[in-house]
Each structure stands twice: as structure tokens, then as C-alpha cells.
Chain A
């Protein structure tokens, strides 16, 4: 296991009010991390700071390299919370959008190898049939799957996903999480996923990170779910999450036996 994303005493503020304070964690290769926390807790901002989209204070390392010197961006796939096209008539096809995920070439040409990679990623996300369609003409859910293909096309070692399933229907969501689980288990892809849907993704996740201005908790799901002390430490939101996990499934969906309730 090697360090993939590491933060040491990272802080960030848009204005004077801090959004993140003294954030420290170390995500290891192969981890499947569910990032949870209250609205406004800084989850999205944390991912942006880790990717250099916002400039924070502190030390950030990607694959052991300081963020400023990091250039192996093909190792990272990113899917943001919002679809990029809010304006009408941005004339790019779904295939061209997926192609944007590749970084080897900058000019106007497309190689056969690149096209093969694009089609493979679209096959994975079941979007091959949209290849020639204008991205803007697709539904939000279809767009989200195309954007996932764009995140996957460079065959990244880390996938960073910000609430990726909100626009997906039930079937697509199931396919989406199955694909992530497959990538994590089969290809050892490290996944960081911001989610509010702990019940659905809880069974796949190996670690939880609870963010509320700082990383309040980062550990395995068993530690998170079965420790009364952790629940007390994290307060109402985390207790609600644990209750949700237990009540929805009638037993702990994460496996094992809770030391406190015996379920």
C-alpha cells in the first residue's frame, strides 16, 4: 500500500471565514473512501483544494509528489458535482467530451489509439450509443455517465467523484456503483466519493471520512459504524448516518457485529 493523496494541516478560506482548517489525512492505494459530512462542511472544497482547483495553505502530495510539482494528471480521474454545460449550444459531441480526458496530445488531431480508449470508456459506462450526439442534447443523467467516461478514459489510478449519482435513475445508479466496485476490486483503483447516500454505497466503501471544516474522522467503516465513542464524538449528523445504515437494512449493512447493539 502506498500513499496516493496526502494532506497535512491544509487550510482554506474563500473570504475571511475558514472553510477548511488543519485538514490532515493519508489515502492509501486501493482505498474506497466515502466522504460524508453536513452541508457546507467543506467536502467539495476539500477535493478542489486537493486537486489544485483552489489554492489552500498546508502540504498536499499526490502520489508522493508535492501538488505544485505534480504532472501525472492522467493518473487522476475527476467528476465534479455540476455538469459543465449550463449554457445552450456548446457544439461538442459526447465522444469529443470523453476525448478531453486524455492528455497526451494538445492539437486538433485524434489518433486511432485515442479513439479506442474513448470507445472503451464509453462502453464501460454504457454511453457508446451517444458517441455522435451533441453533449448538450443528452439528459442530465446521460451527461453524467458521459462525464464518468471522461474521468475513466485515461485509466486513472485514483477516481475523485463529487456526488456523482444525484442525477442518475435507479438502474443507472446501480450500474454506476457496480462499476466503481469493480474498478476498486479488480483494478485496485483508489476511489474518493462524496456522498450523502450512505445506505446505498456503504456496502462498497472501505473507509469513511467525515468532514466538517476539518477531518473529524477518517478510518474503516467498521470503526465508524460500530464505535459508540466515534458516534458521540461526531455528533448528531454522524449518529443519524449510523442509524440510517442500521435501520434501512435491519442490521449493519457494512458487515460484522456491532459491539454496542449486537446487530
Chain B
């Protein structure tokens, strides 16, 4: 264990993974309750376009992906608000567009080497110190927003029309939530990989919802499940030399199973 923690790349990976898992868990609670949980999946597919563009232009994938994913998330918002199509359909359209463009760029560039695979499935080796700092900033922004607008977020999540009649700018909150989620998705693809980012946004909140009786408990448990799964997942990935994304998500699934068993056979928390 000590040997494991002595490696610089492991330290960076653990720090970045912890921060990004906590950020994704907090955002995921709102996304799951607003039935927008698949937005992570859609955004992750769009990430492929950013990564492909970065590999073609020899720039950092994170910096190239952030604007691409942000623009796509705004595209989803516009499709829902202006064209008035369902949220899941809008996510599906943008997701398919992102994946197609990414594959097209990859094909036109004559394919890529193993770099692309590491982005698809996650590789803790690729996390830089600057990215770990960005993860910290992201979590800080989320915590500050939650502190300042906790009641607005829960109200808008619980009953959007009523929240509007309280003067809450629900549209701005939704846009903010989706844009912060987009950045979290970009920062998370180094840790769990493009294919598995959405799991980090969905599984910890769903597991937390099964065992909690208050909204604060949901947020707390979701962060716990997300962070512990990253720690254990990275350790297993190091031990068995497997992609970190897969091991992290499998640990998350164990938490989900345990939560389900607890909610079924444990103390009835809602009584």
C-alpha cells in the first residue's frame, strides 16, 4: 500500500479522482432527480470530438474538449427550450453528432495510436498536476454554488413550475448545472474514460437515494460512494494492471447493490 501511494502519478490520480468523483456525485444528484442523468453520457460522446481534434492539432485534450462540450451542452439546452423537443431526445441528437464528428476526424486523420484508447477507457497515468488543480477548482465552484443557492436548486429540482412562481431563475440554474456538468465530464474522462463518465454521475447518486431520508444525506452518501469507489478502484487497477475506469465503476456497482439490499431488507428509513 505504501509503495502504491509513493508513486507521483498515483498521488495525482488519487487527488484528481477524489475531487472529480465528489464533483460528479454532487452534480449527479440533481441530474438524476431532474431526469437528466444521461446528459453525462451525451457529453462524454461529444468529448470524443474534442479528443480527436486535440490529437490532430497536438494540443491538450482537456483544453480542446472544454469548449466543444460546453457548446454542445448549450446546444442541448436550446433544442429543449426553443425547438421544444424532449430532453432525452436532445441529448441523443447531440451525443450522436459528437460521436460521428469524432469518428470522422479520427478516420480522416488516419486513425490514432493507443492515446485514444487511454481516453476511451480511462488511464490514471495521464492525469497532470494542472488537471488535478482544475478538478479542485471545479469542486470549489460547485460547493460555493450549493451553499449560496441550495434552496433554489432543491426547489427547482422538486417542482420547476412552482420554483418559477417564486421568482427563481430556473433557466439560469439549469444552464449553470449543465455547463458545470460539462466541465466535470471533461475532467473525469482521464480518470474513468469517455465510455464510463456517465456512471460516475449516475451510480453514486442512485445508490445514495436508496439509503437516505433527507436531501443532505443524499448529497453526503453520494460523495462517499463516489470517492471511496475511486480510491478502491484505482488501487485495484494498480494491483491487477487493468483500466482504472472499469474497476472504479465496478466498485460503484457494488455500492449500488449493497444500497439496494439495505433499502429492501435493512431498517425502513422512511417509516
Q: Footprint of B on A, CB under 8 Å?
A: 48, 51-53, 71, 73, 76, 78, 80, 84-85, 87, 89-93, 96-97, 99-101, 103, 105-108, 134, 137, 150
Do the beta carbons of A91 and B159 come within 8 Å of each other?
A: no
Complex Cα distance A80/B160, Å? Answer: 11
Do the beta carbons of B147 and A108 come within 8 Å of each other?
A: yes
Give the secondary structure class of A's interface: loop
Do the beta carbons of A85 and B215 come within 8 Å of each other?
A: no
Do the beta carbons of B164 and A89 come within 8 Å of each other?
A: no
| Minimum CB–CB distance for A84 against chain B, Å | 4
- B contact residues around A100 at 8 Å (CB): 151, 154-155, 158-159, 162-163, 166
Please pick, from A71, A80, A84, A108, the residue contacting B158 in the complex, using a CB distance under 8 A. A84
Do the beta carbons of B148 and A106 come within 8 Å of each other?
A: yes
Do the beta carbons of B150 and A107 come within 8 Å of each other?
A: yes
Do the beta carbons of A78 and B162 come within 8 Å of each other?
A: yes
With A100-B159, A101-B166 as contacts: A91 and B148 at CB distance below 8 Å? no
B218 in the interface (beta carbon within 8 A):
yes
Do the beta carbons of B162 and A150 come within 8 Å of each other?
A: yes
The 4 closest A-B pairs by CB, nearest first: A84-B159, A108-B150, A73-B167, A100-B155
- A contact residues around B33 at 8 Å (CB): 87, 90
- B contact residues around A89 at 8 Å (CB): 209-210
| Minimum CB–CB distance for B181 against chain A, Å | 20
B146 nearest CB neighbor, chain A only: A108
| Minimum CB–CB distance for A104 against chain B, Å | 10
| Minimum CB–CB distance for B207 against chain A, Å | 12
A-B contact pairs, 29 of them (CB 8 A): A51-B165, A53-B164, A71-B167, A73-B167, A80-B159, A84-B158, A85-B159, A90-B33, A91-B209, A91-B212, A91-B215, A92-B158, A96-B154, A96-B215, A97-B158, A99-B151, A100-B154, A100-B159, A100-B162, A100-B163, A100-B166, A107-B148, A107-B149, A107-B151, A108-B146, A108-B147, A134-B213, A137-B270, A150-B162
Do the beta carbons of B152 and A106 come within 8 Å of each other?
A: yes
Complex Cα distance A78/B161, Å? Answer: 10
With A105-B151, A107-B151 as contacts: A73 and B158 at CB distance below 8 Å? no
Complex Cα distance A106/B149, Å? Answer: 5
Do the beta carbons of B158 and A85 come within 8 Å of each other?
A: yes
- A contact residues around B152 at 8 Å (CB): 106
Complex Cα distance A257/B189, Å? Answer: 76
Please pick, from B148, B158, B163, B210, the residue contacting A90 in the complex, using a CB distance under 8 A. B158
- A contact residues around B166 at 8 Å (CB): 73, 100-101, 103
Complex Cα distance A223/B166, Å? Answer: 35
Do the beta carbons of A91 and B217 come within 8 Å of each other?
A: yes
B163 nearest CB neighbor, chain A only: A100
Complex Cα distance A99/B215, Å? Answer: 14
Complex Cα distance A92/B156, Å? Answer: 13
Complex Cα distance A97/B165, Å? Answer: 14
B264 in the interface (beta carbon within 8 A):
no
- A contact residues around B147 at 8 Å (CB): 107-108
- B contact residues around A137 at 8 Å (CB): 270
Complex Cα distance A78/B164, Å? Answer: 10
B214 in the interface (beta carbon within 8 A):
yes
Q: Could you give, for residues 190-225 of chain B, a 1 whenever the CB lies within 8 Å of some chain A CB and a 0 otherwise?
A: 000000000000000000011011110110000000
Do the beta carbons of A106 and B151 come within 8 Å of each other?
A: yes
Do the beta carbons of B167 and A103 come within 8 Å of each other?
A: yes
